[in-house]
Chain A
């Protein structure tokens, strides 16, 4: 596992992302700050899926479930029970993580396409629940009126830029933890399972437990992103849990470069940017987006991050 060379392409990406995320909000208009906030939150979410998809090799099509459920938890706690900030923040993460722990028991013993199907089905179940459990979720209309993160947390700051930097801080913390995780022996074991599970088993690793933990941890990070997303939008609706949300997430990871952590960040940023910028200029933006996806997948099958390198990840 020699560190891959930081060639010019990657340095360019790092510099652009670093500049945009670091100092962008100080000079950009509030609308762009809003887009950057979205990018950071979705990047966090995409990184959490990368743990599962890229590092463990488990393709989940239901990852928006944890994101959505924790967002719903925040909404219900904040608007229904008038809970304080920490109760909402931790409550959202805990509920999302517990859900991952429960779902993990069901999905961890299957692989590949079966894993895909079961996670998809579980995601759809939650989507249906959000849609139909009206007394709690508000059904189709969702729940609006989630307080502003900064006032709720008692931070004496206001405005989109302050919110952005709080989000960035959370993102950096989660990113750091995930990076530690994938470089740890545990993370290396996950990669081993991805490459050859039979061999890892014969070496004495409890591969089921590793897959299970990877699923739960990735669910926990997705819950963090969901909590911040709920605060960012101020409302929740069943669209957070839809299949399209999960598949777009999947696309962010594969487009950016799986098993790189920074690739998904790039993918999330690129997709948010493309969707919002394209649609402002052309009514055929979906068409353009489709072409971009196809070109990216054909031209950079290992993801945009790996474009400058020959070696296989």
Chain B
């Protein structure tokens, strides 16, 4: 059967070659003009693409910027971009005596797309440095490429712990935070100040959720508290009813981690189920972050969350930032906006320190690592030896002030490191917080 089939195939082939040659003579010859014009067109396209190869010179400083501007995270991506543009507007798009040119690319929140766009920025646009990215998955996917190209990259938002812990990348500067960082402080706060002893957690089922809940659980249980129930919901969750029915009513508090639409939905349903009156709600900062807070109602009142920023932070630097941002974009700045405003100031400070000589990549990296921008909205920030910020962590409670919901800062943990109070070397021997994390006893 097989051989027979093969023979037929060969027969087909022979016949086809003959037919092709006939077809070729009959059809191609008369239409050669069109063919030639097509060929010329193709050559023109190719040579045009060759010309696109940029020339690095003494022109503007080019910064490649990657954020999701389409898809479910488009709004958060827009906030990040706005923060960045605002920081550049304040210096009239100039630093170190050179003009700054930003090339924005949409990574759609898909790691492979992010990588393709990063390649475009580096290899085609010849940017001097990159900034941006939102999702941890994109952050991890870009890291090997960034290292291989030796291109400095600023991550303002990506909070995956291991990027500055067990899988450090020398060319990545994180000006944001790690997911567990504020939650370490919050675990202690929940036990000592809020006097909670048992907590149930409900969080989005992905790395950001695991790392935040893990950090909280570790310090909360180290104090003597107990996380009695841990629930994980799919990132695409639409209805919390099945989860809310299961939540223990006998705990001192429920810890929730959501963002965007899920945060809105969760808080609304938490109240509808009568849980809000029975069990206090606490959580990660994104649950009541300003990217969703303005569209929430009274169901958010009284929720206590933790983050390294609040738009209601009462410092001169933040008041100025928040009012300028509001005037410019008609929105309250979210932590996403602040993240890249600070990231932008970081980059500007580094460029100033180099007096605009960004062509030397090693010097640029060193300048970024040693940059000390001042008057940051979130308070003082410095990088630790692992490339992660040491910064204040704020405990915030949602209150209504002048008719608007805001995250009023009720307590501050100054200069919190990603390792909390632990020894970094010891800390790094522990596995990364995962879905099944159990604190070492």
Specify which chain B residues have a CB less than 8 angstroms from the CB of A15 in the assembled complex: 35, 38-39, 42
Confirm or deny: B375 has a beta carbon within 8 angstroms of a beta carbon on chain A: no
Specify which chain A residues have a CB less than 8 angstroms from the CB of B43 in the assembled complex: 19
Confirm or deny: B312 has a beta carbon within 8 angstroms of a beta carbon on chain A: no
Q: Given A11-B38, A184-B12, A185-B8, does the pair A280, B137 have CB atoms closer than 8 Å? A: no
Q: Which of B1-60 contact A (CB under 8 A)?
A: 5, 8-9, 12-13, 16, 19-20, 23-24, 26-28, 31, 34-35, 38-39, 41-43, 45-47, 49-50, 52-53
Confirm or deny: A110 has a beta carbon within 8 angstroms of a beta carbon on chain B: no
Confirm or deny: B105 has a beta carbon within 8 angstroms of a beta carbon on chain A: yes
Specify which chain B residues have a CB less than 8 angstroms from the CB of A114 in the assembled complex: none
Confirm or deny: A165 has a beta carbon within 8 angstroms of a beta carbon on chain B: no
Option from A7, A31, A141, A279 in Cβ contact (under 8 Å) with B119:
A31
Chain B proximity of A205: nearest CB distance (Å): 14
For the complex, give the distance between the alpha carbons of A43 and B323 in Å. 51
Confirm or deny: A206 has a beta carbon within 8 angstroms of a beta carbon on chain B: no
Asked if B141 and A6 make an inter-chain contact with CB atoms under 8 angstroms apart, the answer reads no
Q: Given A134-B435, A180-B9, does the pair A140, B46 have CB atoms closer than 8 Å? A: no
Which interface residue of A7, A16, A31 has the most chain B CB atoms within 10 A?
A31
Specify which chain A residues have a CB less than 8 angstroms from the CB of B136 in the assembled complex: 140-141
Asked if A140 and B9 make an inter-chain contact with CB atoms under 8 angstroms apart, the answer reads no
Option from A3, A233, A283 in Cβ contact (under 8 Å) with B112:
A233
Q: Which of A37-60 contact B (CB under 8 A)?
A: 38
Asked if A239 and B111 make an inter-chain contact with CB atoms under 8 angstroms apart, the answer reads yes
Confirm or deny: B140 has a beta carbon within 8 angstroms of a beta carbon on chain A: yes
- Bitwise, A278-299 to B at CB < 8 A (1) or not (0) is 0110010110000000000000
For the complex, give the distance between the alpha carbons of A308 and B42 in Å. 19
Option from B31, B49, B70 in Cβ contact (under 8 Å) with A286:
B70
Confirm or deny: B206 has a beta carbon within 8 angstroms of a beta carbon on chain A: yes
Asked if A280 and B105 make an inter-chain contact with CB atoms under 8 angstroms apart, the answer reads yes
Confirm or deny: A305 has a beta carbon within 8 angstroms of a beta carbon on chain B: no
Confirm or deny: A27 has a beta carbon within 8 angstroms of a beta carbon on chain B: yes
**Chain A residues bordering chain B, tally (CB within 8 A):** 46
Option from A6, A7, A30, A184 in Cβ contact (under 8 Å) with B8:
A184
Option from B104, B105, B145, B207 in Cβ contact (under 8 Å) with A234:
B145
Specify which chain B residues have a CB less than 8 angstroms from the CB of A11 in the assembled complex: 27-28, 31, 34-35, 38
Confirm or deny: B194 has a beta carbon within 8 angstroms of a beta carbon on chain A: no
Asked if A139 and B206 make an inter-chain contact with CB atoms under 8 angstroms apart, the answer reads yes
Q: Which residue on chain A has the smallest CB distance to residue B6?
A: A184
Confirm or deny: A82 has a beta carbon within 8 angstroms of a beta carbon on chain B: no
Chain B proximity of A278: nearest CB distance (Å): 10
For the complex, give the distance between the alpha carbons of A132 and B205 in Å. 9
Interface band, chain B: 35 or more
Q: Which residue on chain B has the smallest CB distance to residue A23?
A: B46
Tell me what chain B mostly uses at the interface: helix, strand, loop, or mixed: helix
Chain B proximity of A194: nearest CB distance (Å): 19
Asked if B123 and A29 make an inter-chain contact with CB atoms under 8 angstroms apart, the answer reads yes
Confirm or deny: B352 has a beta carbon within 8 angstroms of a beta carbon on chain A: no
Asked if B46 and A19 make an inter-chain contact with CB atoms under 8 angstroms apart, the answer reads yes
Chain A proximity of B23: nearest CB distance (Å): 6
For the complex, give the distance between the alpha carbons of A28 and B42 in Å. 13
Specify which chain B residues have a CB less than 8 angstroms from the CB of A142 in the assembled complex: 111, 137, 140-141
Q: Given A184-B9, A240-B112, does the pair A145, B124 have CB atoms closer than 8 Å? A: no
Chain B proximity of A43: nearest CB distance (Å): 16
Asked if A28 and B49 make an inter-chain contact with CB atoms under 8 angstroms apart, the answer reads yes
Specify which chain A residues have a CB less than 8 angstroms from the CB of B117 in the assembled complex: 279
- Bitwise, A5-17 to B at CB < 8 A (1) or not (0) is 1111001100110
Q: Which of B41-94 contact A (CB under 8 A)?
A: 41-43, 45-47, 49-50, 52-53, 69-70
Confirm or deny: A20 has a beta carbon within 8 angstroms of a beta carbon on chain B: yes
Confirm or deny: A183 has a beta carbon within 8 angstroms of a beta carbon on chain B: yes
Chain B proximity of A212: nearest CB distance (Å): 17
Asked if B49 and A16 make an inter-chain contact with CB atoms under 8 angstroms apart, the answer reads no
Confirm or deny: B120 has a beta carbon within 8 angstroms of a beta carbon on chain A: yes
Q: Given A6-B23, A11-B31, A239-B111, does the pair A283, B106 have CB atoms closer than 8 Å? A: yes
Confirm or deny: B376 has a beta carbon within 8 angstroms of a beta carbon on chain A: no
Asked if A237 and B35 make an inter-chain contact with CB atoms under 8 angstroms apart, the answer reads no
- Bitwise, B111-122 to A at CB < 8 A (1) or not (0) is 110011101101
Asked if B140 and A144 make an inter-chain contact with CB atoms under 8 angstroms apart, the answer reads yes
Q: Which of B151-173 contact A (CB under 8 A)?
A: 160
- Bitwise, A178-196 to B at CB < 8 A (1) or not (0) is 0010011110000000000
For the complex, give the distance between the alpha carbons of A186 and B9 in Å. 10
Confirm or deny: A313 has a beta carbon within 8 angstroms of a beta carbon on chain B: no
For the complex, give the distance between the alpha carbons of A24 and B24 in Å. 25
Which interface residue of A3, A19, A29, A140 has the most chain B CB atoms within 10 A?
A140
For the complex, give the distance between the alpha carbons of A94 and B151 in Å. 37
Asked if A237 and B112 make an inter-chain contact with CB atoms under 8 angstroms apart, the answer reads yes
7 pairs from A and B in contact (CB 8 Å cutoff): A15-B38, A29-B53, A132-B205, A140-B206, A141-B140, A186-B5, A233-B141
Query: 3 closest A-B pairs (Cβ-Cβ)?
Result: A12-B38, A8-B34, A31-B124
List 5 additional A-B contacts (Cβ < 8 Å) besides A5-B23, A15-B38, A142-B141.
Answer: A3-B20, A6-B24, A12-B41, A140-B235, A239-B112
